[in-house]
């Protein structure tokens, strides 16, 4: 199956599936020196979202909400292992499309009594060009992670996820946290840290919290790290000014149709919309000066969402050849944006912090992570033609 865009035409499958290897930790040598990690080849770091809600002080337990994905076509299950030393209970598994419970097993793996895994049966086999997903709730009890220091809480854990949230018990305030994070208040008055780990690798976190009589009111802004939107800009030759765009995201707004908000800043030609749960094309219609798609399964509760991919081509004035140099200049929106250069071009400058990589087809790319609460930021990327 082809996996990259050719001359501005879009291939049916998500094109970032071409680059799912490399960039892993290199480990250490016997003398303690670092081994080099593999080259960065992934357009986007891992997609799963994980939220940890600390339960009552002294319980040593926390409730996890986990949203993993399965991209392998034909797969019929998704496996989620319990970390060794964490006692799992209260497992629930749902289909995010319908909100209905899914069948699963939670069993010991091999001969290790501390090794368990959830094996969730997907509602259908992952379709070609689609993505399987589940919503998992589980409770971990781990006295090594959730510690009481008198009446104060200490929570310490190595988090290997990418998009993350940690919620304190009600009646507690933060004494300190050693990760840069957005701080919000939930609808029921609990404080929540929301943050991203751009590398997707292990990220140790320590949180100290104390009892407080302060009454926290819900925040007026959203958890930007729960938003799973990711946009890929695949650049044709700079002389053409053409860009092929694919964007994947989940929409939780209730109803039987969804407004395609991205089209307000991505005026795409040859627009295509796909329901990734089924790989079924959806027809976009214009209503009240906005584009909508009708959902086969209406969204009625908070466990449900639509998982959509929009794609098309863009003719952008900000993408051009200037004195022999490729220049891509654009205001980007959302948490994750990756720009893939034409083959044979080397990155010479990026105005925002980004990861530089090369995919398995030999094309350089720039992966940007927006860690600020502002949803829009301007980026300039420059490149020179290589030999």
Per-residue pLDDT band for 108 (boundaries 50, 70, 90) equals confident
Supply the DSSP symbol for 58: T
pLDDT over 60 (residue 277) = yes
Among 211, 242, 277, which residue terminates a domain? 211
- State residue 373's pLDDT score: 67
pLDDT, one tens digit per residue, over 280-325 is 999 999 998 899 999 999 999 999 999 999 999 999 889 999 999 9
pLDDT, one tens digit per residue, over 159-208 is 877 899 999 999 999 999 998 899 999 999 999 999 888 776 778 899 99
- Whether residue 35 is contained in a domain is answered as no
- State residue 29's pLDDT score: 87
- How many domains does one find in the chain? 2
Q: Are residues 180 and 272 in the same domain?
A: no
- Whether residue 189 is contained in a domain is answered as yes
Task: State the residue range of the domain holding 196.
Answer: 48-211
Long-range CB contact pairs, 203-206, < 8 A, 24+: 203/158, 203/159, 203/160, 203/179, 204/156, 204/157, 204/158, 204/159, 205/155, 205/156, 205/157, 205/158, 205/159, 205/166, 205/177, 205/178, 205/179, 206/154, 206/155, 206/156, 206/176, 206/177, 206/178
Better-scored residue on pLDDT, 101 or 373: 101
- Whether residue 159 is contained in a domain is answered as yes
- State residue 18's pLDDT score: 38
DSSP per residue over 33-56, as a string?
A: PBPPPPPP--SS----EEEEEE-S
Q: Are residues 239 and 381 in the same domain?
A: yes
pTM above 0.95, yes or no: no
Q: Are residues 203 and 73 in the same domain?
A: yes
Q: Are residues 54 and 187 in the same domain?
A: yes
Q: Are residues 114 and 176 in the same domain?
A: yes
Q: Are residues 198 and 245 in the same domain?
A: no
pLDDT, one tens digit per residue, over 337-363 is 999 999 999 999 999 989 999 999 999
Q: Are residues 253 and 292 in the same domain?
A: yes
Task: Find residue 105's DSSP bridge partners.
Answer: 119
- State residue 164's pLDDT score: 92
Q: Are residues 130 and 199 in the same domain?
A: yes
- Whether residue 22 is contained in a domain is answered as no
Average pLDDT, whole number, for the chain?
A: 89
DSSP per residue over 166-206, as a string?
A: EEPPTTEEEEEESS--EEEE-TTS-EEEEEE-TT-S-EEEE
Dihedral angle at the C-alpha atoms of 44, 45, 46, 51, nearest 10 degrees? Answer: -120
Give percent of the chain above pLDDT 90.
Answer: 72
Q: Are 97 and 297 in contact (CB under 8 A)?
A: yes
pLDDT, one tens digit per residue, over 242-274 is 999 999 999 999 999 999 999 999 999 999 999
What residues contact 276, with CB distance under 8 A and at least 6 apart?
A: 130, 131, 248, 307, 308, 309
What residues contact 253, with CB distance under 8 A and at least 6 apart?
A: 259, 299
- Please give the average per-residue pLDDT across 330-335, as a whole number: 93
CATH of the domain at 263: 2.60.40.1730
């Amino acid at each position: 199956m082809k996996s990259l865009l050719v001359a501005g035409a879009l291939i049916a499958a998500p094109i970032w599936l071409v680059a799912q290897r490399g960039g892993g930790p290199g480990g250490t040598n016997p003398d303690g020196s670092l081994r080099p990690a593999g080259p960065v080849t992934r357009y986007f770091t891992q997609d799963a979202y994980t939220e940890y809600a600390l339960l009552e002080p002294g319980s040593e337990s926390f409730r996890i909400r986990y949203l993993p994905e399965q991209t392998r076509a034909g797969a019929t299950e998704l496996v989620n292992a319990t970390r060794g030393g964490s006692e799992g209970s209260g497992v629930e598994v749902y289909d995010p499309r319908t909100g209905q419970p899914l069948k699963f097993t939670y069993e010991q793996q091999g001969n290790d009594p501390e090794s368990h895994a959830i094996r969730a049966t997907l509602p259908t086999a992952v379709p070609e060009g689609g993505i399987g997903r589940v919503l998992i709730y589980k409770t971990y009890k781990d006295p090594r992670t959730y510690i009481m220091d008198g009446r104060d809480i200490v929570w310490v854990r190595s988090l290997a996820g990418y998009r993350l949230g940690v919620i304190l018990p009600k009646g507690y305030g933060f004494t300190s946290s050693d990760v840069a994070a957005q701080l919000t208040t939930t609808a029921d008055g609990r404080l929540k840290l929301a943050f991203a780990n751009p590398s997707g690798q292990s990220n140790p976190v320590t949180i100290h919290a104390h009892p407080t009589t302060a009454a926290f009111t819900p925040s007026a802004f959203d958890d930007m790290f729960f938003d799973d939107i990711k946009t890929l800009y695949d650049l044709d030759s700079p002389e053409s000014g053409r860009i092929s765009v694919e964007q994947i995201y989940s929409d939780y707004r209730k109803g039987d149709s969804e407004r395609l908000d991205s089209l307000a800043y991505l005026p795409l030609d040859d627009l295509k919309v796909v329901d990734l749960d089924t790989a079924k094309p959806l027809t976009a219609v214009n209503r009240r000066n906005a584009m909508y798609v009708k959902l086969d399964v209406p969204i009625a509760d908070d466990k449900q969402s639509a998982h959509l991919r929009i794609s098309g081509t863009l003719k952008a004035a900000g993408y051009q050849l200037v004195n022999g140099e490729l220049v891509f200049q654009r205001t980007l929106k959302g948490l994750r944006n990756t720009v893939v250069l034409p083959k044979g071009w080397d990155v010479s400058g990026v105005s925002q912090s980004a990861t530089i990589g090369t995919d398995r087809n030999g094309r350089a790319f720039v992966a940007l992570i927006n860690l600020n609460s502002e949803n829009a930021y301007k980026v300039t990327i420059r490149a020179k033609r290589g030999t």
